[in-house]
Amino acid sequence: MLRSSLAGAVALALSLSSSFALAQDGTSSQELDRVVVTGTRTAITVDDSLAAVEVIDRKEIERTQAHSLPELLRGRAGINLVNQGGAGKLSTLFMRGAESDHVLFLVDGVRVGSSTSGLTAIQDIPVELIDRVEIVRGPRSSLYGSDAIGGVIQIFTRKAQNGVRPHFRLGAGTDDLRELSAGIDFGFERAWFGADYSHQATEGFQSCLGAATPVFAGCFVDNPDPDRDGYESNAISLRGGVRPIDGLVIEGNALRNQGRNEYDSDPFYGLPDVSNTTQQVVGGKIRYDVGRTTWTMSAGSNRDVSYDSRDRSFVDQFASQRDSASLQGDVRVADGHTVTAGFDWQRDKADVEDLFSAWSADRNNHAVFGQYLGDFGANNVQASLRRDDNEQFGGHTTGGLAWGYAFAHDLRLTASVGTAFKAPTFNELYFPFFGNPDLRPEESKTWELGIGQRKADWNWALNAYQTKVDDLIVYDISLFMANNLDSARIRGAELTGGLTLGGWNLSGAASYVDPRNHSQGFDYDNLLPRRARTTGRIDADRAFGDFSVGATLVGEGRRWDDVANTLAVGGFSTLDLRAEWRASPEWTLQARVGNAFDKDYQTSAYYAQPGRQWFLSVRYAAQ
């Protein structure tokens, strides 16, 4: 009850502070004009976006001193994160109450994620290699196809800068954490190249709590080994490009991460306790501007591999490959009016091996899409339509329509409706003793209404939505396999904003979601598992000359960890403190205390989260 009360207090505090129109990161009016591309597949400013968009740039990443992508995203509007035991452990993200595989992830425009599980290993994307993150809340299947029911998160790796600019970071902390990153950029008038390396290793801690009842609680261990569950990650990022003539740009990106993850499992059943993972994303793009038309041709590939073992003996391997290509044309038919049309191709492949069975699968998807963006004085319109032709499931049409109206004093009203779908994963179709090859795609429809205001030193936004999802895929105990049994009704609201006040840069987000199971049966009207109904986050930072201090307060309400709503995970709040000293324009010393009050909490039943942790790091960046 105490933890739930604390989380509620955080959400209330956020609501009160946001009512004073807090502005994100204390941004100026110039910074508010940052360009985003994920919500429309074309370049527009944040102010022009009709979707609920949040941008986390490199400056904010370094300011928060986050050590992982899940840590960077926690508590943000519409996002619920569930982690099974600290750094490198399985982290699943729920956006606006949708399923964890209902969020589409892109890395430099390339679709990523496992075609077997449907999840993206966000814990294996090193935060030190990220330039910025764009978060778009709400359905986007009409632009991207399958998966984008809850929203889209696009991760942009570091970009090459002008001149010759080396940089590095060295850090250490609790649980024998060691971090090293280094890179260099070469930027010239018509060519650029950059490379980065990131290393992270930790001995971890005993995260699996185990339990005598129910049997196999949490990590399938009633009496877990009293050992520490470590994690190691080594990653490299490459980027480069040329501008041979005015209007023509050719560029490419590559990211590869190899990790080793240790966890607990019961040796009696021969389950693995070590996973060696590979995440690889390679992409290229050609963009040509001619007159009022921009042509973009891109292609990419994502490989996701998990090699699992016990006592150095092979247990199983999950290998996933996603290849994609796109041709897109943007025509500015008149000032304030842009028409987009394009073609997408995607191929998913999976190869699964274990000691008892092996299987593989593949499928292709072709799609055509179109979009119109129009400005009519105080009115803005976005309309999009897409037709996917899936080799396995046939045709599927999705659409979206959004409208915005600008009142006086920069007050803006938005309204939208959109449909989306999610094709079954290969595990849901073919995994032994679970898969069902007769599954149908999940479908959704979302209505949203928003109002907000942006000024030079502050902004705020309130968005409310309802999503109806049909043919949700769950395990059917009567068939002993996956089946299209469920439907769900999700309602929610998000309040965000920020302010620069008395030298302090303040930002906040408060979210409420009511995700209900509307399937006929014993669990009707139960809350969908692993989603906290209330979440909140406050960031406060202030500079004193070359010194700066800051804090992040995150709160989450109680959630259920099972469909029957019998296994509760308590609410909690945590406070992180940070300080920074800029010794010179190039050198910065940073210190951080995570979970400063040493809160004992969980986001997934039977998996502990880290207690109080400290970190020290030093950064160098050539100016």
What does the H/E/C string look like for 244-269? CCCCEEEEEEEEEEEEEEECCCCHHH
Contacts of 477 (CB under 8 A, 6+ apart): none
Torsion of CA 370, 373, 379, 383, to 10 degrees: 10
pLDDT of residue 263: 85
Tokens of 438: 């007769």
Q: In angstroms, how far is the first alpha carbon of the chain from the final one?
A: 50
Task: Check whether 519 has a pLDDT greater than 60.
Answer: yes
Which DSSP category does 22 fall into? Answer: P
Provide mean pLDDT across the span 335-355.
95
Phi first, then psi, for residue 46 (nearest 5°) are -60, -40
CB 130, CB 155: distance < 8 Å: yes
Residue in the block written with tokens 């679970």: 434
Question: For residues 84 and 572, what is the distance between their CA atoms, to the nearest angstrom?
Answer: 16
CATH number, position 444? 2.40.170.20
Check: CB of residue 510 under 8 Å from CB of residue 536. Answer: yes
Question: Average pLDDT of 245-260?
Answer: 96
Host H or E run for residue 315: strand 313-334
DSSP string, 557-610: --EESSTTS-SEE--EEEEEEEEEEESSSSEEEEEEEESTT----EEETTEE--
Helix (H) or strand (E) holding 14: helix 2-18
The mean per-residue pLDDT over the stretch 71-97 comes to: 94
Beta bridge partner(s), residue 51: none
- The 10s digit of each residue's pLDDT in 425-479 is 999 999 988 899 999 999 999 999 999 999 888 999 999 999 999 998 887 777 7
- How far is Cα 323 from Cα 456, in angstroms, rounded to an integer? 43
What does the alpha-carbon distance between residue 590 and residue 588 come to, in Å, rounded to a whole number?
6
- What is the percent of the chain where pLDDT is above 70? 91
Residue labelled with tokens 């309204």:
415
Question: Comparing 216 with 133, which gets the higher pLDDT?
Answer: 133
Whose tokens are 């992180």? That residue is 576
Buried b / exposed e over 454-493, threshold 16 CB at 10 Å, is beeebbbbbbebebebbbbbbeeeeeebbbbbbbbbbbbb
pLDDT at 227 over 60: yes
Burial per residue of 202-218, b for 16 or more beta-carbon CB atoms within 10 angstroms, e otherwise = bbbbbbbbbbeeeeebb
pLDDT for 270-306, tens place per residue? 788 899 999 999 999 999 999 999 999 999 999 999 9
Q: Is 18 helix (H, G, I), strand (E, B) or coil?
A: helix
Backbone angles phi, psi at 42, to 5 degrees: -135, 160
What number is the average pLDDT over the span 249-274?
88
Measured at the CA of 223, the angle between CA 222 and CA 227, to 5 degrees, comes to: 135
pLDDT digits (tens, 9 = 90+) for 142-173: 999 999 999 999 999 998 888 999 999 999 99
Q: Is pLDDT above 90 for 370?
A: yes
Better-scored residue on pLDDT, 400 or 523: 400
Enclosing domain of residue 104? 2-621
Task: Write the DSSP symbol of residue 69.
Answer: H
Classify 265 in phi/psi space as left (phi over 0), alpha (psi -120 to 50) or beta.
Answer: beta
Averaged pLDDT score across all residues of the chain = 90
Query: 535: how many CB neighbours lie within 10 A of its CB?
Result: 30
Task: Report whether 468 contacts 480 (CB < 8 A).
Answer: no
Confidence of residue 210 (pLDDT cuts 50, 70, 90): low
pLDDT band at 265 (very low <50, low <70, confident <90, very high): confident
How is residue 408 annotated by DSSP? G
Q: Which residue has the higher pLDDT, 451 or 623?
A: 451
Split into its structural domains, the chain has a count of 1
Residue type, 193: F
C-alpha dist (Å) from residue 536 to 77, 463, 491, 511, 542:
8, 15, 17, 6, 21
**Backbone CA torsion sign across 117, 119, 122, 123:** negative
For residue 14, the model assigns a pLDDT of 41
Measure the CA–CA gap between 498 and 490, rounded to whole angstroms.
Answer: 27
Residue 254 identity (one-letter amino acid): A
For 39, half-sphere exposure in the C-beta direction (CA atoms, 13 angstrom radius) is: 26
Q: Given this model, what pLDDT does residue 224 score?
A: 64
For the CA atoms of 251, 108, 66, 546, the dihedral, rounded to the nearest 10 degrees, stands at 40
Question: What is the per-residue pLDDT for 32?
Answer: 40
Q: Are 54 and 39 in contact (CB under 8 A)?
A: no
- Predicted confidence at residue 1, as pLDDT, reads 39
Could you tell me the sign of the dihedral formed by the alpha carbons of 220, 104, 241, 189, in that order? Answer: negative
Residue 585 per-residue DSSP state: S
Q: Where are the beta strands (DSSP E) in 377-503?
A: 379-390, 394-406, 411-422, 442-454, 458-476, 481-501
Q: Which secondary-structure segment (H or E) carries 236? A: strand 231-242
Q: Is 517 exposed, middle or buried (0-12, 13-18, 19+ CB in 10 A)?
A: buried
CB 495 within 8 A of CB 513: no
pLDDT at residue 47, as a whole number? 85
Torsion of Cα atoms, 551 then 557 then 561 then 566, to 10°:
150
**Rounded Cα–Cα distance for residues 507 and 29 (Å):** 15
